[in-house]
Chains A and B, each alone.
Chain A
Amino acid sequence: MARGPLAIPPEIRSRLKRLRLRTRSDLGTGGFGLHPSRNKGAGLEFAAYRAYEPGDEPRRIDWKLFARSDKFFVREAEQESPVSVWILIDASASMGQADRARPDWSRLDAAKLMALCIAELAQQQGDRFGWMSLQEAALSLAEPRSGRAQMDRLQIDFARLVAAGTFPDAATLAPLWERIGAHDLVLFLSDCFDERGIALIERLAKAGREVLCVQMLTVEERDFPFDGGYRFLDPESGEALIGDGKALRDSFFARFAAARAALAERLDAAGIRHATHVLDEPVDLPLRAFFGRGGAAE
Chain B
Amino acid sequence: MTPLLLAPLGLAALAALALPLVIHLRRRTEEVPVDFAALRWLEAMPRPRRKLQLDELLLLALRLLLVALLALLLARPAVLGWEDDGARVLVAPGVDAAAAREAAGPEAELRWIAPSFPELAAGAPAPATATASLIRQFDAELPEGAPLTIIVPPVLDGVDAGRLRLTREVTWRIVAGEGQADRPGPPASPALAVRHADKQAQALRYFRAAASAWSDTPRFDAATGSALPPRDSVLVWLTPGPVPQAVGDWIGAGGTALLGDTAQIAMPASSAALWRDAAGNALVEGGPMGAGRVLRFTRPLVPAAMPELLDPSFAATLRDLVSPAAPPPGRVSAAAHAPTDGAAPFPLPPRELAPWLGVLIALAFLAERLLATRRRRFAP
User: Which A positions have Cβ atoms within 8 angstroms of B?
Assistant: 94, 96-98, 100, 191, 193, 220-221, 226, 228-237, 239, 241-244, 246-248, 251-252, 255-256, 259
Contact = CB atoms under 8 A, between A and B. Distances in A.
B49 A247 contact: yes
B37 A235 contact: yes
Interface stretch (B39-47, B76-84, B297-305): B39-47
Contact of A247 (B30, B33, B47): B47
Contact of A228 (B30, B39, B48): B30
Contacts of B31: 229-231, 242
A245 to B, nearest CB: 9
Contacts of B49: 244, 246-247
A247 B48 CA distance: 8
A96 B35 CA distance: 9
Given A221-B37, A244-B48, 13 more contacts: A97-B35, A97-B36, A97-B37, A100-B380, A232-B36, A233-B35, A234-B36, A236-B37, A247-B46, A251-B42, A255-B41, A256-B38, A259-B41
A15 B250 CA distance: 117
B188 interface: no
Given A228-B30, A229-B30, A193 B38 contact: yes
Contacts of A235: 35, 37
A239 B46 contact: no
Nearest to A194: B37
Contacts of A226: 34
B376 interface: no
Contacts, number: 84
B46 A248 contact: yes
A232 B28 contact: no
B29 interface: yes
B32 interface: yes
B337 interface: no
Contacts of A243: 42-43, 46
A231 B35 CA distance: 9
Interface SS of chain B: helix, strand, loop or mixed?
loop
A110 B92 CA distance: 91
Contacts of B32: 228-231
B87 to A, nearest CB: 64
B204 to A, nearest CB: 110
18 contacts: A94-B37, A96-B35, A97-B36, A98-B35, A193-B37, A221-B37, A229-B30, A230-B32, A230-B34, A233-B35, A234-B40, A241-B44, A243-B43, A243-B46, A247-B48, A252-B41, A252-B42, A259-B41
A241 B38 CA distance: 11
Contacts of B34: 100, 220, 226, 230-233
B32 to A, nearest CB: 5
Interface string B1-43: 0000000000000000000000000111111111111111111
Interface of B: 26-44, 46-49, 380
A243 B30 CA distance: 10
A242 B33 CA distance: 9
A256 B40 CA distance: 9
B37 A191 contact: yes
B43 A248 contact: yes
A229 B30 CA distance: 5
B65 to A, nearest CB: 25
Contacts of B37: 94, 97, 191, 193, 221, 234-236
Contacts of B28: 229
A244 B45 CA distance: 10
Contact of B26 (A221, A228, A230): A228
Contacts of A97: 35-37
Contacts of A248: 42-43, 46
B47 A220 contact: no
Contacts of B33: 230-231, 233
A243 B42 CA distance: 9
A241 B29 CA distance: 14
A232 B37 CA distance: 9
A247 B30 CA distance: 15
Nearest to A220: B36
3 closest cross-chain pairs (CB), A and B: A94-B37, A234-B39, A247-B46
A252 B43 contact: yes
Contacts of A98: 35
A236 B31 CA distance: 20
Contacts of A246: 49
Contacts of B48: 244, 247
Contacts of B38: 193, 221, 252, 256
Contacts of B47: 247
B31 to A, nearest CB: 4
A41 to B, nearest CB: 39
Contacts of A228: 26, 30, 32
A191 B36 CA distance: 12
A97 B37 CA distance: 7
Contact of B39 (A239, A244, A251): A239
A261 B357 CA distance: 63
Nearest to B38: A221
Nearest to A247: B46
Contacts of B26: 228
A256 B41 contact: yes
Best-buried of B27, B34, B35, B37 by chain A (most CB within 10 Å): B37
Contacts of B42: 232, 241, 243, 248, 251-252, 255
A280 to B, nearest CB: 16
Contacts of B43: 243, 248, 251-252, 255
A28 B44 CA distance: 48
Nearest to B47: A247
